[in-house]
Amino acid sequence: MLQVAYIRDHKAEVLKGLAKRQIDASMMIDQVLLLDEARRATQTELDNTLAESNAISKEIGNLFKSGKAAEANELKAKTSQLKEDSKALGEQLNEKVNALNELLYKIPNVPHLDVPAGNSEADNEEVYREGDIPKLHAAAQPHWELAKTYDIIDFELGNKITGAGFPVYKGKGAKLQRALISYFLDKNTAAGYTEYQLPLLVNEASGFGTGQLPDKEGQMYHVGEDDLYLIPTAEVPATNMYRDSLLAETDLPIQLTGYTPCFRREAGSYGAHVRGLNRLHQFDKVEILRIEHPEKSYQALEHMVEHVKTILKELKLPYRILRLCGGDLGFTSALTYDFEVFSTAQDRWLEISSVSNFETFQANRLKLRFKNKEGKTELCHTLNGSALALPRVLAGILENYQTEDGIDIPEVLIPYTGFSKIQNS
């Protein structure tokens, strides 16, 4: 969440930045500043009351020592009133803090200066493209048909077991899925990311810490009896490992990676753009995450982008990178690059990774701080990216590597799969 002090000192910049998201935040920002002014006034009154109470308590002690019990007892009544006043002021302060936080939770991050203004994905900026789009044979099929032809993914069986959006991977399809996970993790650990195996359920505090709650509450699966949420991404448990942490500057940067299934209750729609693996409620993803010094976070973001590029180059998939406009930017992000793979059989681009810098937005919610060289406490910057989300990468491989007699396996994956082609037996 945004820092109140920053809003107070940079109100015009905050409003201008949020306008890139197509949000007129003037009323919310004014309300934040009014609530903060009231909070600070109450805090000052409480501090003064407590100071007066402490001073009188000392005076009472001195009077008793001096044998002036009558005067001391007269002051006791005043301290009793001050204690009641302090209690009431403390309750008022908590109410104002809670009201302020509730409002701050609803305000998205301020976009970076490089984020273009825009309403939707149509206004995103393409900043890079690489790879040749293959020419497929006349009978080429989209991946959901290939899945049937080669019996490697069963969407109908998943629908029977659970519902739409929960596919069953079979045989070489399951092995290819496992190969991609292992390959991604190996690439990430070789680049300096420490691997973690993470919980798949998180508590409410973790959801608030990384910004999924309350913004995306309706998109998360909730286990009501235990008040836990199935994770929408490994970002949530991984980042929350450092909730309420005070790090040393020498601890930075921190680089993590982890594989998890992910669960999202995204509203279903119909058509080829959401068929097959294009949109799922359960899917696998390998995530990379960094906790950085504020002065180095954008350099780290570029390193993350370059890292994902090396993976796609080795997979030899045609891809492009988009800088997201304000209207398409995630709630918590200051700057996001989306990677898209071209699906030749579907003749469209498929998003397969988002790499984002959240600056201090998550760290402020998490109370994730570090002590700088001068001994002052600062908020860290957090970043995360998919490296990579599997469903659409798998869709791109199946479609772009298909031949008339089967599906070739990218050369870099053959040591992981143990086979070089998927064919009918």
For the annotated binding site for ATP, the residues are: 264-266, 351-354
Half-sphere exposure of 159 (CA within 13 A, CB side): 7
| Calpha distance 362→294 (Å, rounded) | 13
- C-alpha–C-alpha distance, residues 30 and 26, integer Å: 6
Cα 267 off chain centre by: 20
How far is residue 152's CA from residue 30's CA, in Å, rounded to a whole number?
56
Q: Report the alpha-carbon distance of residue 240 to residue 207 in Å, rounded.
A: 9
Q: Where do the H-state alpha helices sit in 272-387?
A: 297-315, 361-366
Backbone angles phi, psi at 362, to 5 degrees: -75, -40
* CB-based contact 387:187 (threshold 8 Å): yes
Q: Do you know the residue count of the chain?
A: 425
How far, in Å, CA of 112 to CA of 107, rounded? 15
| Residue stretches of the annotated binding site for L-serine | 233, 264, 287, 384
> Which residues participate in the annotated binding site?
233, 264-266, 287, 351-354, 384
Q: CA-CA distance, 296 to 155, in Å (whole number)?
A: 44
Query: What 3-state DSSP class applies to 6?
Result: helix
Contact 340, 353 (CB under 8 A): no
Q: To which residue do tokens 């301290």 refer? A: 79
β-pair type (369-371, 406-408):
unpaired
